[in-house]
Amino acid sequence: MPLLIKTYLKEVEGKGLGLFTKGFIKQGTKIYEDNPLLDRILERQEVEKLHPTIKEFIETNACYKFDTDTYYLNCDNARFINHSETPNINFNNGFIANRNIGEDEEIVCDYREIDDYSKNGDFDFCIKESQK
């Protein structure tokens, strides 16, 4: 999911790296859109065959969809968007700012909108052995 805005990464206490704006973002602004040239959709069976380090990277950084049994891996720093119960972006055919976002503010979303494991409150992101 290529970002359409300028951003930077910064450490967030208790979360690791987070994604921050380099400028003001007006409510309603689309901040990313899918681009098949830059994003990968990977079948779980493909991922299972990869080197363990690569597999772990995908399981950690991609969103997973039960219905298609696929991972969605973006190519840029959008993978550092952290979860929040009060997100400032929402998923609607791309992420859209649901309110004005100030310069140097962290961009956060509700993972339950984009990742099937998170819909059940599981923020581990890895397929458990019992779910294979």
In a domain, 20, yes or no: yes
In a domain, 16, yes or no: yes
Q: The domain that contains 28 carries what CATH number?
A: 2.170.270.10
| Structural domain for 89, as ranges | 1-33+80-112
- Global pTM value: 0.75
Q: DSSP label at 82?
A: E
26-64 residue pLDDT tens: 999 999 887 888 788 899 999 999 999 999 999 888 888
Residues β-bridged to residue 95: 91
Distance CA 84, CA 87 (A): 5
Distance CA 22, CA 131 (A): 40
